[in-house]
Structure 1
Amino acid sequence: MRAAVLGTGVMGAGMARSLLRDGVGVTVWNRTPARARPLADDGARVAASAADAVADADAVLVALYDAEAVLGVLGEALPASAPETVWVQSATIGADATRRAVALAAGAGRTLVEAMLLGTKQPAETGRLTLLTAGDPAVFARIEPLTAAVSVKSVWAGPEVGAGTALKLACNAWVASVTAASAQSLALAGALGLDPNLFLAAIDGSPTDCRYAHVKGAAMLAGSYEPQFALDGALKDIGLIDDAARGAGVDTTLLDALEALFGQASRAGHGGEDMGAVYTSFGGAEGAGGAAGGSGG
């Protein structure tokens, strides 16, 4: 199988390497070429344009940052792919942009399915993502070598493209909430004169335990914010979740609070750091100014 990966940010680069390890031929493209070039050392072909990248691909994995990038690249590159090429939309772009992506693919006579990504840098690099899929199951059977290489689990949300996005928004609402709640409890414990690690010890193994709280909590307490999921990416997704919730008549009180907390951390200069830097909004340890990261190209 020949695959093209459009977008070589944290997630795209990790998935490209997972594909290469499984013997899939990979061509990569990124809007900033320097971010794609290191993948040549892993065996990928680096394309000069998105249209060039998809020209001989059996499947195209779209791992760009936002709706503007995804829709722009689809408009440019869909016609350059073979009619039988399967396009796999993996970027978190919200419900409205997903409908527009479906329309672009239909207009070009191309097949588009969703495989939304649940996981961060380490699962992407080790082929252990969870895929939230939507579309024709027969199409997924055709691209099984690709999905098997990048994931450890798939959850099929339904036959209509857009269901994967809906499930991803619900999951990311949980991820953002758990991250902020962990930050609040750690900061509160410290402010009350306790060792914040006692909070993590207290929930360990109990019905209220959450492994994610331990992973993010340890990084927060160390002031280590190397991006696994960049804070600005989380803030973008919270905005998409908020839009979806309002459109569906779901109360947004918690989302509004999350948007304020993550927005505060972003304005303080933590946008390119890991989303765990929301801890700083509670007066937690300042980050060490880690390298900027993100999920798109």
Structure 2
Amino acid sequence: MPSAGPLQPADPERLGAHRLLGRLGEGGQGVVYLGRSEVTGEHVAVKLFHAPAEGDRTAPETFGRELEMVRHVARFCTAQVLDWGTLGDRHFIVSEYVDGPPLSQVVAEDGPRSGGALDRLAIAIATALVALHDAGVVHRDLTPHNVLLGTDGPRVIDFGISRALTGSRTMASKVVGTPAYMAPEQLEPGELGPPVDVFAWGATMVFAATGLPPFGNESIPVVLNRIAHHEPELGGIEEPLRGLFAACLAKDPALRPTAREVLDRLVGRPDTAE
């Protein structure tokens, strides 16, 4: 059985049609459990979100409607969303279990990626973004923590969650995302589209190649100021990846390539390569 920590006394024993076997981790959004489907018998990952503040509660029907979109995302390079529901006023999402560590952990323990390993990682994550955007889904929080290096290749997880929790395409009163990987437009009110994911892809790949995000990892105000006003630090990244990463990190979202253009450049299609 996959490795997981024990359940704590306050943890539920099941969510929906899924028996919980242990804890895989806990973060700012909620707790992730290892579960087993009572229908298929397969292992699943179940994310139970923390109880929202009174004014931040999203109706179950809105939550489900937004997550229904992610069912249309092609399954290659992503962890498929299988089910969702509520426990009291807390939402949960059930997704395909990926047996592998996050990119953030691998880089911290083994160092930055390079050569063919970096190329394969870049192509896999870009492919996942193409699948998401083709299905009309914007991730809005792509980071090294949300890329799992499974035994069958990298998988992007937690897509569609931020919009499902807010029920909105726009950034309004709260910042949604991980500061070091957020695009400048996520700091201002307005609609958030696929370019925010392309920016996050560039930032994630810089981390994979150097071990540091392109705008540093100091305090949140310092990082956000750099994102808004400074050029990214690209370390010793060589061309052609250096130029591609820089293009994805453009301040103006209109100047960034699309995810499909990124993928085309990575695989060297002559009509898009520079």
Q: Using structure 1 for the length normalisation, give the TM-score.
A: 0.22
Q: Using structure 2 for the length normalisation, give the TM-score.
A: 0.24
Q: Say which structure, 1 or 2, has more relative contact order (CA 8 Å, 6+ apart).
A: 1
Q: Which has the higher strand share?
A: 2
Q: Which has the higher helix share?
A: 1
